[in-house]
Amino acid sequence: MTGGQRRNGDSPMTVSHVDRHIVDVHVLLLRGTELLLTRRRGGAFDGRWHLPSGKLDAGEDVLTAAAREAEEEVGVLVNPDDLTHVHTVHVNGSGPEPRLGLFFAAARWAGEPSNREPGKCCGLGWFDLHHLPDDLIEYLAAGIDAYRQGVSFSVLGWSDQAPARDV
């Protein structure tokens, strides 16, 4: 229960700490056996490969967010109905707050991918899904690897880490 909920008419419960998580959406744009990656510019992950991705905005569902991020970052139009959820990872340590990373695959979109955020991205590349570059951001590498293995859920960076599993 959260701070404002009541149980059987009781007074409100007191919550000393509410743990908040960021929700990230990641888009695997697939062209046959190739995957589109973007190379980050600046910040802690400068020069590292990444997927088109971003944070869920207030009032936005995850499919709309994933389609929005694909358009904002690489200029392709993805119909949210063409996105398939392929993995969720619960991550601790990939930033200041824990996060849930939702990975969606798309094999159909309109437009040719291009770098739409040159201030945040210094390049795009198509890579064989089974021969990805070594300098992938770890969080993304874990999600992509789980997708390749058909695993739908994993945890990363928690002290009592449960193994990745298909649910």
| CATH code of the domain containing 41 | 3.90.79.10
In a domain, 6, yes or no: no
Domain span including residue 106 = 22-156
Phi-psi region of 146 (alpha: psi -120 to 50; beta: other; left: phi over 0): alpha
Residue 12 lies in a domain: no
Asked if residue 16 belongs to a domain, the reply is no
Give the residue among 70, 84, 55 at the shortest CA–CA distance from 112: 70
List pLDDT tens digits, range 62-92. 999 999 999 999 999 999 999 999 999 999 9
Number of domains making up the chain: 1
Own/partner long-range contacts of 12-19 (Cβ < 8 Å, ≥24 apart): 19/98
Give the global pTM: 0.84
- Summarize pLDDT for 11-56 with one digit per residue, the tens: 444 545 677 889 999 999 999 999 999 999 999 899 999 999 999 9
